Amino acid sequence: MSGPAITFDTGALIALERRKDRAMKVYTHAKDRGLVVATPNVTVAEWWRGRTDRREAVLRGLLVEAASDEVVKLAGVALAKVRSATTIDAIVAAFAVQRTGIVYTSDVADFGALRGFFPALRVFAI
């Protein structure tokens, strides 16, 4: 990973694809300040529904990294502790806390539950 990064979950990728105002502002603000906008590769599987020029453009603007063994193991432990969590949300949370702890999402409540396991996680609505 190069430089400090904020994490976008699947909902944030959808918002970027749809050019939602808040998503565009957050993305531009991050880039202007030298932050990397990152996402684990599992979010791409949840988001990608076929190639379009817009999806390709969004993908080019992100750092997409494979979830490491450490991240997926930590996500598994989180799933055991936070019964309402989904696998991908737990992976995104574990991925984010290994960076700046900042995650942007359209599902703040889902990540709010994960904050009990990941106290360093900072969740923002996209």
Distance CA 108, CA 59 (A): 23
DSSP state of 9: -
Number of H helices, E strands in the chain: 7, 5
The predicted pLDDT at position 3 comes to 72
Domain boundaries, the chain: 5-125
How many residues in total does the chain contain? 126
The predicted pLDDT at position 90 comes to 98
pLDDT tens by residue, 49-83? 999 999 999 999 999 999 999 999 999 999 999 99
Architecture of domain 5-125: 3-Layer(aba) Sandwich (3.40)
Nearest to 44 by CA among 27, 62, 25: 62
Distance CA 47, CA 12 (A): 10
Mean pLDDT for the stretch of residues 27-34: 96
Quick check: helix, strand or coil at residue 83? Answer: coil
